[in-house]
Amino acid sequence: MIVDSGEFDRCAVRRFYERFGGMKLDPAKHKLYIDKLVKVYSDSGKKMKPFIKWILSQPRFRKGH
């Protein structure tokens, strides 16, 4: 039920973004960005390695924000 609702994906991308992107995402404040992260994660076949590479290639990460 949790996996089907998409909550697992949202939680996973938030945790990986916090770990590799360096910022904790608040679901209320960053909903649109989390939705974008879930789409990127889903488009990569739900594989973490391409998702993490995407996070590390973002201008936000490269600028240190």
Task: Give the global pTM.
Answer: 0.78
- pLDDT tens digits, residue range 5-63? 578 899 999 998 898 878 899 999 999 999 999 999 999 999 989 998 988 888 876 66
Extents of the domains making up the chain: 2-63
Long-range pairs, 40-48, Cβ under 8 A, ≥24: 40/13, 41/9, 41/12, 41/13, 42/9, 46/9, 48/16
pLDDT at 11: 92
Q: How confident is the model at residue 1 (pLDDT cuts 50, 70, 90)?
A: very low
pLDDT score at 64: 55
